Amino acid sequence: MVGKKAVVLLSGGLDSATTLAIACNQGFCCHALTFRYGQRHECEVAAAQKVAKSLGAAEHRIIAIDLAALGGSALTDPAIQVPKSALSLGT
């Protein structure tokens, strides 16, 4: 019998790492998926790699996608300043 499988979107942050940990703990054979979308800080992808390895993901794939067609973002466009406080977010 084939075990339960799960695909977990893994950003390298706390929420997705927790999701992967829970799925692994519940007996799923986990396949982690990370998107390299041109984010400014490659440390997110590096963190996802470490998390996938340490939690025992069966596989970890990193897929590059181009988000430029969706418009500019401070996450991907060096010409847009990254907000540093809630005030600069407009809240």
Round to whole Å and give the CA distance between 73 and 76: 5
Q: Phi, psi at residue 43, to the nearest 5°?
A: -65, -25
- For residue 3, pLDDT over 60 is answered with yes
Round to whole Å and give the CA distance between 38 and 15: 21
Could you report the per-residue pLDDT of 21-58, keeping only the tens digit for each?
999 999 999 999 999 887 766 889 999 999 999 999 99
Domains of the chain are 5-89 (3.40.50.620)
Mean pLDDT of the chain: 86
Confidence (pTM): 0.75
